[in-house]
Chain A
Amino acid sequence: MALTRGAIEAMAPDQSALAAASKLLQPAKWPARGRSGGLIWGECQGSGANPYRVVADTADPGSKCTCPSRKFPCKHALALMWMFVEDESAFKAGDVPDWVNDWMGRRRKSGGGAAQSGGAKSLDAARAEAAESAPDPEAEVRRKAASEKRAQDTRRSVLAATEELEIWIADQLRTGLTSFLGDLGGRCRRIAARLVDAKANALASRVDEMPSRLLSLSAEERVDAAIQELGKLVLLVRAWRANPDEPELRREVIASETRDDVLANAESLRVTSRWEVLGERIATRRDGLVSQTTWLMNVGPGPQRFAMLLDFFPASAGRRAGAFVAGERFSAELAFYPAKAPLRAVIASRGDPEKASADWPTAGDDPFADHAEQMLVAPWRIDAPLLLPEGRICADAAGRAWWRSNSDMWAPLRDVPPALALGASIESAAGIWDGARLSLIAAQTNWGTLGFDA
């Protein structure tokens, strides 16, 4: 079955999916599009930090997209196929990328992959619908006014909530940390619920996740870790109260800006460099969201810098394929979320993938001293990435793994490392240090780059 306009209309789940797809037909939204045999693929920059990778089989219809949409095919897959039937020549013939091969290997064929549904669906109608939806200036003014009022209300309620949180922290000290650690889940859940009610959503999430962070440590480490966690909360809420318009603090307490806000912000740090994908971390949070973090490091000229592409999607959307493969390198301009030590970023523009390998920047001799400096700038941060110098991974008698530098600095690892790590010479490693555990992301070793899948 060849791909035709009629076939796309038939496989679209509904007319609204086609209408949404029609808004993605501009080539500018697709930094990469390719084809090989009957396969077409592309990358679409959506509203998240990570681009969506989309692949479709035009010969034996089926598609896959890394977006969290529950619709199948999603608007990105429909748009990719739509662009293909309208202009095949815009798809560059080339080798099938590994992520496409991965999808082919896992693909479950289900009779053409089309989710047939009732109701007339039309590409032409979808395009016309998109053209008609021009913005209304008066409605825009009303929307802005309502938005400002909501922001003021939120600030008032969050202010009260942060004061309540400080009282709660003082209460935990007054009743004893032993008792607090004995009822960690219940106490944190209750105050997190109050924070949610007050619209301090980011703060609520952080408090809600605190038990899992503390319980991942040994019993004897938990008291110090609890003191650090509660202390950071105090620092954060006091800093926010002193400067509630500070974007970084607002992000940590209420909610983060959108990708478009970051791109539109003239104060956002922009860094154009060659970036290497170090790895990806997926974590399911207690609030039902899954966080997807892609860690990048610049391997071009300029000072060493990490960047974090962070997206959230509902756990109910199911397991999502990664946006990048560890080890990929590309040139890109990143726009960083405004912060004292900028880390979270979005991709403003990206070039083609690079095949040539690149050396990592040289790590400082004392990564923990660098970390302490970062903590002085933003002391409320739970963790921060580190570039570690030469060393080894060792296992103690209990089987717990440690990173050890050649100058005898140590850090216990959060996760069990791959077997090879214990037999490899670590030339440099990137990891996330939270003061108690080091989560390694990737390392350059005498066996090449080694990933530490968490």
Chain B
Amino acid sequence: MRDIDSSLARIRNAWMAGRSALEHCPVAWRDGTSGDGGECALIALTGHATAVLFRPAPPAPIAPRPLLPALAFPTVPEGARPRLRRLLARKNGASLERSLIDLVTARGFAMHPADWMPSPRDDWAPDLYAPWLDWVRAESKAAPASDLTLENYDQWSWAERRVELAALRQRDPAAARAIIAAKAATEAAERRVKLIEILENNLSADDAEFLATLAKDRSERVQALASAYLARLGRHSDSDALAKELAEMLEVGKVGLVTRRTQLVIKPLKNATQNTRRRELFKLVSFSNLAQALGLSEQQLLESAPAGVEDGIAEFVQMIGATGSDEARRLLLDRMVHDTDFPFAHARWLGPRLTPTERRAVLSPVLVRDPNLFETTVVLMGSTLGEAPISALEKSPGYAALESSIASVLEADDKTRTTIEPMLESTLNRVALLADARAAAELISRVTSRGLSPADPRLELLHLNAALTQETKP
């Protein structure tokens, strides 16, 4: 083998330089390379020998990566995967990625990694995917066999650590806070924010002391988050003067013939400068401080849904979403649901703070009140998707609008159709995210009986929803 190696190397060098290589021809090849065309015969033999004699090998040893871990849920049924891939690849309209992942997870399935894997920055991915996040980030720490403690904190990968801390916060808030308080400073600002966010669950007065220490954190985002949590606990750090200034831009009236209830009225101000200032103040002042400045308790201020200009109402709701206590935001949502005059779309600002239990409790009344083709409901439901029965969906104004837009699309000319079709598609997608599997199947039956083709791509998400049932689990 060494002889042929060195012959081939000499032949190669000769040809690179433009010299004849026949003198380097191995003895065994001489008969075949004599006579006219000898150089061509030699290249045929050399080429073939090079192709079959040598095996490729990497220049340095390479170790394979660890295997992608299996997840706790089974993967999506094989038959549903083509639909999922089409939906993920869809380029028109808003991306469905997060909603799809949430729906699939809510149904107890995991994505197939050939169809979707989180990117290293996808911290939004459901906890289920923590092992994959570790894998894509090449964090190969094996989680300790015991629970997360202060001592073994560093032995956990970032994704698994967050999941464990969230679970610990649920069952033992003080223990989770102690670990976060001890370790937050060792994390980068972006991760510090994520750790502090864990405290939102079961937030209590016991957390106030630690949150107060974050007032001088290096990160403004951490400072703002801690300040908002403190405000929810009634410990506002904003100035009383600002609260007073805001209170002077608002009015408090009374409504109700029998039971007189307090109502905040947000009237238009005299000029744009004043309106802009009020908008700023809603962001700077906490809800508890505003109530105090108005001389009311939080409960009194929320005896009825606020009234007035839409922008002002939206800013007030956002203020409660950020700094209102749990009780305040519960009261406000309740008022919004029951006051039919209230512009319900603004309820969306309370969505991020609802717990899954609260979301399920308000699903039916929210559907009845949602005027925006299921959009507000989808926002309020967050990741609690795929649970609405057909009886609740058909009571929503969105359902009637859906039926009428199908009729419009089928009857419209091409020009009109291009404006109605996107609306129909987004409505169908939203209702598909909300419906339970039985409702999804029923909706497919209803809309196809009204004229849509069963293969209409706008029904893909409904078909997917209907296919994600317990019966399809392996």
Chain A residues close to B by CB (< 8 Å): 36-39, 57, 59-60, 96, 98, 100-102, 104-105, 107, 109, 111, 166, 169-170, 173-179, 223-224, 227-232, 234-235, 238, 368, 371-372, 375-376, 379, 392-397, 402, 404, 409-412, 418-420, 422-425, 435-436, 446-448, 450-451
Task: Assess whether A176 is in contact with B18, with CB atoms less than 8 Å apart.
Answer: yes
**Can you report 9 residue pairs joining A to B where beta carbons are below 8 Å apart?**
A98-B82, A174-B20, A223-B16, A228-B48, A394-B64, A402-B58, A419-B113, A420-B114, A422-B65
Nearest B residue to A435, CB-CB: B51
Question: Residues of B at under 8 Å CB distance from A?
Answer: 12, 15-18, 20-21, 37, 39-41, 43-48, 50-52, 55-60, 62-68, 78, 82-83, 86, 90, 112-114, 117, 135-136, 414, 417, 448, 453-457, 460
Contact A412 B455 (CB under 8 A): no
Determine if A166 and B47 form an interchain contact, defined as CB atoms under 8 angstroms apart: no
Set B59, B114, B448: member contacting A447, Cβ < 8 A: B114
Asked if residues A418 and B114 are in contact (CB atoms below 8 Å), the reply is yes
* Chain A residue with Cβ nearest B454: A37
* Complex Cα spacing A424 to B82, Å: 21
Question: Are B453 and A38 in contact, CB atoms less than 8 angstroms apart?
Answer: yes
Complexed CA–CA distance, A37 and B459 (Å)? 14
State which of A371, A396, A418 has its C-beta within 8 Å of the C-beta of B58: A396
Write out the residue numbers on chain A whose beta carbons fall within 8 Å of the beta carbon of B17: 176, 178
Known contacts: A100-B455, A105-B90, A425-B67. The answer to whether A402 contacts B44 by CB under 8 A is: no
Partner of B57, one of A104, A410, A418, A447: A410
Contacts of B50 in A (CB 8 A): 224, 227-228, 435
Name B14's closest neighbour in chain A (CB-CB): A173
Cα–Cα distance between A395 and B63 once the two chains are bound (Å): 8
Contact between chains at B414 and A109 (CB < 8 Å): yes
Which residues of B are found within 8 Å of A404, using beta-carbon distances?
62, 64
A36 to chain B, nearest CB (A): 6
Contact B62–A379 (Cβ < 8 Å) = no
Shortest 9 CB-CB distances between A and B: which pairs?
A231-B47, A176-B18, A423-B68, A105-B457, A228-B47, A372-B52, A392-B64, A234-B44, A96-B455
CA distance A424 to B88 in the complex (A): 22
Instruction: For A238, list chain B residues within 8 Å (CB).
Output: 44
Can you name the residue of chain A whose Cβ is closest to the Cβ of B119? A419
A410 adjacent to B58 (CB under 8 Å): yes
CB distance from B18 to the nearest CB of A (A): 3
Bound-complex Cα distance A411 to B113 (A): 24
Q: Inside 8 A of A38's CB, which chain B residues have their CB?
A: 453
Q: Which residues of A contact B56 (CB under 8 A)?
A: 410-412, 436
| Docked pose: A395 CA to B61 CA in angstroms | 10
* Closest Cβ neighbor of A38 among chain B residues: B453
Is B453's CB under 8 angstroms from A101's CB?
no
Minimal Cβ-Cβ distance residue in B for A355: B79
CA separation between A447 and B64, bound complex, in Å? 17
Contacts of B57 in A (CB 8 A): 410
Q: Are A231 and B18 in contact (CB under 8 A)?
A: no
Q: Are A37 and B453 in contact (CB under 8 A)?
A: yes
A36 in contact with B454 (CB, 8 Å)? yes
A368 cross-chain contacts in B, Cβ below 8 A: 55
11 additional A-B pairs beyond A227-B46, A375-B52, beta carbons within 8 Å, are A57-B453, A60-B453, A101-B86, A109-B414, A228-B48, A229-B47, A372-B52, A402-B62, A420-B114, A425-B67, A450-B114
- The answer to whether B55 touches A177 (Cβ under 8 A) is no
For the complex, what is the distance from the CA of A450 to the CA of B112, rounded to whole Å?
11
B117/A101 in contact, CB under 8 A: no
A394 B62 Cβ-Cβ under 8 A: yes
Query: B65 to A234, Cβ gap below 8 A?
Result: no
Q: A232: which B residues are within 8 A, CB to CB?
A: 44, 47-48
Q: CB < 8 Å: which of A104, A109, A423, A425 contacts B455? A: A104
| Bound complex: CA A229 to CA B44 (Å) | 9
Q: Are A170 and B40 in contact (CB under 8 A)?
A: yes
Q: Complex: how many Å from CA A371 to CA B59?
A: 23
Min distance, Cβ B129 to any Cβ of chain A, angstroms: 14
B residues less than 8 Å from A36 (CB atoms): 454-455
**In the complex, what's the smallest C-beta–C-beta distance from A414 to chain B, in angstroms?**
12
Chain B contacts for A101, CB-based, 8 A: 82-83, 86, 455, 457, 460
* A176:B65 contact, CB within 8 angstroms: no
Q: In the complex, what residues of A have CB within 8 A of residue B59's CB?
A: 396
CB contact between A446 and one of B18, B37, B67, B454 (< 8 Å): that residue: B67
Instruction: Note all chain B residues with C-beta closer than 8 A to A371.
Output: 52
User: Which residue from A39, A98, A372, A394 sits with its C-beta under 8 Å from B453?
Assistant: A39
A175 to B18 alpha-carbon distance, docked (Å): 5
Query: Whole-angstrom distance from the CB of A119 to the nearest CB of chain B?
Result: 25
Check if A419 sits within 8 Å of B136, measured CB to CB. yes
Residues of A within 8 A of B41 (CB): 234
Chain B contacts of A422 at CB under 8 A?
64-65
- In Å, the complex CA distance between A109 and B460 comes to 18
Q: Which residue of B lies closest to A224 (CB)?
A: B50
Complex formed: what's the CA distance from A406 to B9 in Å? 31
- Contact status A179-B43, CB under 8 Å: no
